[in-house]
Amino acid sequence: MTIEFNYTHDDDAIAAAHRFNALADGTCDITTLTMDILAADGVNGNMPLDWDRLNIASDATFAHDIAGIRRHMDRVTGILGGCFVPRLTLNLPTMQDKIAAAIDAAHSAGMISERVHKEEMQSRLDALAQELMATRPDLAEMSLDEWLVEHMDSLSQSERADASAIIAAYFT
């Protein structure tokens, strides 16, 4: 597999690498970080970065996105791992999009039997449930339905809706 690089915003990527390096007290390799950013910008299965917002983002938001790219970039595949998606991307997928993609991927994984398909779909939905719960390390992890009930008062409306959508997808 060859890593793709998006050179459409190469000047922005270079500037971002220098800005991040300044925030990191000069501890970054500018070239490697620039390549990571170019590989994370709308190629290799990654969401495109929203350069208009990233260029004017607060240092905290900017550092979150660039540090996340730096930390989670798989330099063999160009894919951002660890379920990391920068905050400032275009067309950030909703939980409904992720559920639909998981169901579609389960279909394409091979329809050997209905049982195998159901197991594949549940596995992919389990991964989404884990991803959702991982966004709240302050809350104890458990099965998603128990997590939703146990932490109902601590969850945002969006988190409750996402958890409910995942649970509903198990029964489709």
Domain boundaries, the chain: 7-72, 95-170
| Of the listed ranges 17-21, 49-53, 61-65, 89-93, the one predicted with least confidence | 89-93
What rounded mean pLDDT belongs to the chain?
Answer: 88
* pTM (2 d.p.): 0.55
Give the span between the Cα atoms of 152 and 160, in whole angstroms: 7
The whole-number pLDDT of residue 108 equals 64
Residue 73, strand partner residues: 80
Within 8 A by CB and 6+ apart from 95, the residues are 128, 132, 161, 162, 165, 166
Structure tokens at 115: 């049982």
Give the span between the Cα atoms of 142 and 17, in whole angstroms: 39
pLDDT digits (tens, 9 = 90+) for 61-96: 999 999 999 999 999 989 998 888 899 998 767 777
> Strands, DSSP E only, in the chain?
none
pLDDT at 111 over 70: no
Structure tokens at 131: 């991803």
Give the span between the Cα atoms of 106 and 170, in whole angstroms: 12
Phi, psi of 31, rounded to the nearest 5 degrees: -65, -50
Give the span between the Cα atoms of 18 and 103, in whole angstroms: 40
Residue 115, strand partner residues: none
The whole-number pLDDT of residue 99 equals 81
Give the span between the Cα atoms of 75 and 3, in whole angstroms: 8
User: Which DSSP symbol is given to 4?
Assistant: P
Mean pLDDT of 11-39: 96
What is the rounded (10 degree) CA torsion for 116, 118, 166, 145?
-100
